[in-house]
Amino acid sequence: MLSSRRGASSLLLLGASWLLVVAGLGAGEVVAVTTADARAEQAAASAAHAAAAELAVDPGAPGLSIELQAARTACHVPAESAPPAACSPARDAARRVARANGAEVVDFLLGPDPRDRGPEPAPGRIVAVVTVEVDRALPLLRRMCARHRPGATLCVARATAAARWG
């Protein structure tokens, strides 16, 4: 009778220990997920800001703004197969800064500020919208993520941010 009670309490202790281990691992995964989300948001904001800062020094920006208002392009990469060369400086600046923050640009878009729209396209403000992805580096799912990348939502954190030049 006493020995069976002891066996039961040992089992209970073992079960509780396993529960603690699983809870610890789960907490680790949750921390990794939220950290990657925060990093992605920061990288997206920095990349969008870099595109806007590049447009501020780019002499071709007023011309590009007219193109954007006339809807001849949206500098949308990768949706546009051949965006104009004037899109490249802002896009490259966004890419460089995203990489410096451990992220990759997966979608880039420029557009006119709706408040500058008039009857005729004219130089105005430009809005840069950048979407980035950051590897979540989940401790438990690293192998699975290596097999299923890119695009597995569990494995990468995605964030979008916008910045305006002008």
Partner 1 sequence: MRGRGAHRERGAETLELVAGLPLLGLVVTALLQGAALVEDHARAAADARELVRHRVVCEHRDAPPAVIAGDPALRSARVTFTRVADPAGGALVTATVVLAPRILLPGLPAGPGSPLAARAAVTMREEPC
Q: Rule CB under 8 A: which residues touch partner 1?
A: 2, 9, 20, 24, 27, 31, 35, 38-39, 42, 46, 49-50, 53-54, 56-57, 89, 92-93, 96-97, 100-101
Which is closer to partner 1, CB of 47 or CB of 74? Answer: 47
Residue whose CB is less far from partner 1, 96 or 149: 96
Nearer to partner 1, 46 or 69 (CB): 46
Closer residue to partner 1, CB minimum distance, 69 or 108: 108
**Residues in CB range of 7: below 8 A, 6 or more apart:** none
Are 94 and 129 in contact, with CB atoms under 8 Å apart?
no
Q: How far is the CB of 121 from partner 1 (least distance, A)?
A: 25
Contacts with 116 (C-beta within 8 Å, 6 or more apart), sequence order: 65, 69, 122, 124, 125
- The count of C-alpha atoms lying within 13 angstroms of the C-alpha of 115, restricted to the half-sphere facing its C-beta, is 4
> Do residues 103 and 119 touch, judged by C-beta distance below 8 A?
no
Tokens matching residue 129 = 């919208």
The minimum distance between CB 136 and partner 1, in angstroms, equals: 15
Distance CA 84, CA 52 (A): 17
Q: What is the smallest separation between the CB atom of 41 and partner 1, expressed in angstroms?
A: 9
> H helices within 58-133, ranges in order?
61-69, 88-100
Nearest distance from C-beta of residue 89 to partner 1, angstroms: 7
Classified as helix, coil or strand, 139 is coil
Whole-number minimum distance, CB 138 to partner 1, in Å? 15
- Of the pair 24, 119, the CB lying nearest partner 1 is at 24
